[in-house]
Amino acid sequence: MPPDSPVRASTSQQDPSSVLEILTALSGSEAEFIANCSRAGTGWTQFFQVRPSPIGGLGAFAVKDLRPGDVILTESPLLRTTYGSVLPDFYRLTRSDQDMYLTLSGYPSSEGKDEIMNIARANAFVARDGIAIFKLASRFNHACEAVRNVKYVYNEHNDTLTMTVVADVPAGTELTVSYGQTPTELYNSFGFICRCGGCGEEGLTEEEVQNRVSHSWY
């Protein structure tokens, strides 16, 4: 990410057979992450759940009907760093936090760039004096401002990110935030083609995006 589908667990009992089907289809690290989420007793599980997303990678999905103003997450960073210090700061994390970081989806690259840097590029939120990467907030996929259903605010005083619902969200709907960029910028920054429908560019092909990039379209 940033930088904007249910496995049912949260406050209700999750169906063990559905969990098994999903976990067996995932890599070991993603499966472990979702299993840990299913067992978690923290406050966010009453609002959303993490599972594979049709948009890409893992995503966050409402486990009940949500309303504008619902605060669904306040989170401290998994990694607080700058782009120039990602690697040394990553290796200062505990082993379990390193493993968690590596479950995040990275920026697709044909240039053989380091996986750790690719993940930072795809998942970082702008923060005071650098960037922040989160265990949960970095799972939220993008939708443009007109159709995204969650907004986020970064509190620079206590280094936390808060996510608040901005639209009526039925249970089972994917929760999305806006990464705040045009389709071309999203392609440049994160390596994906936006198909949310809110930017007026649904159906844009990779060739068209590349053409717009070469002509500096904004």
Res 78: pLDDT:
94
Res 23: pLDDT:
41
Tens digit of each residue's pLDDT (9 = 90 or more) over 99-120: 989 988 876 654 445 889 989 9
Q: For residues 97 and 191, which has the higher predicted lDDT (pLDDT)?
A: 97
Copy the structure tokens of residue 17: 């057979």
Highest mean pLDDT among 109-123, 125-139, 172-186: 125-139
Among the ranges given (22-26, 46-50, 196-200), the one the predictor scored with the smallest mean pLDDT: 22-26
For the chain, give the mean pLDDT. Answer: 76
Q: Is the dihedral of CA 38, 166, 209, 212 positive or negative?
A: negative
Q: For residues 156 and 35, which has the higher predicted lDDT (pLDDT)?
A: 156
Amino acid found at 41:
G
CA distance 170 to 17: 24
pLDDT score of 182 more than 60: yes
Amino acid found at 50:
V
Contacts 24+ apart (CB under 8 A), 42-48: 44/72, 44/73, 44/136, 45/9, 45/10, 45/11, 46/10, 46/11, 47/10, 47/72, 47/73, 48/10, 48/72, 48/73, 48/175
The pTM (predicted TM-score) of the whole model is 0.72
Domains of the chain: 16-180 (2.170.270.10), 181-218 (no CATH)
